[in-house]
Structure 1
Amino acid sequence: MNAQLKRFRIVSYIVSTFLIVLMFVAIPAKYVWGFDTLSTVISPIHGLCYMLYLVLGFQLAQQAGWKFWPETVGLLLGGTVPIGSFFVERWAHRKILEEHPQAADPKVREEEAV
């Protein structure tokens, strides 16, 4: 589960970053200044990353044994709001470590034992 959690965390940060750039840089550049190149590049990248986010989020929720509503749905919808997946990722990380302490990174477990 540790590897699954790491993959989800990485993709979650990527999805949020691309969504923030898309919403606050690329879209205004397209509609205010008429510069649509940035939007046409970032939109498909964010879309692909969001699909990966959905797959990894669903797999993580299944592995953690979460119910479909509200945990899994909330996790999957977290990537639709700018900066939302940052918060959802932290929530999921804490919840999984509470429910499955063996999912903690081995280095972190060694430091906590000292």
Structure 2
Amino acid sequence: MDSKPLGSRFMGFISQVLKAMKFEVAIYSEPMMRDVYCPDLAIKGGSVKGLIETKFYRSRQVSNHVIITAATKLAAYEYTHQQHLVLIVSSIVSASLKNDILDKFGVVIWDRSNLAAFLASLPAR
């Protein structure tokens, strides 16, 4: 069994999903800056660049406040406007909250339903 924390394993899984989507993926956090917030991943694919924050939650659904707090931290991070901001969570987020966060903070949210739909669209091996 993998001894990494579940959050780290979720981030690794998301890295693999993004690579399957043909993005170049790099770990964004600087090891020396663990006390300062940094997004988890940076992606690049064609003209698309983005910063990714991953959040693993044990619950199927978490409170809106938890999702909004994570989105707020990502939106507050200094970034160039050519970069997309994406919060990827292991729980389910309502469509209305996804839209509200996108409108208010400019953060796109992918939840477990988005991930399941993408994985279902992959060709069988």
- TM-score scaled by structure 2? 0.27
- How high is the TM-score relative to the length of structure 1? 0.29
Structure with greater Cα Rg: 1
Structure with greater strand percent: 2
Q: Whose RCO is larger (CA < 8 A, sep 6+)?
A: 1
Q: Which has the higher helix share?
A: 1
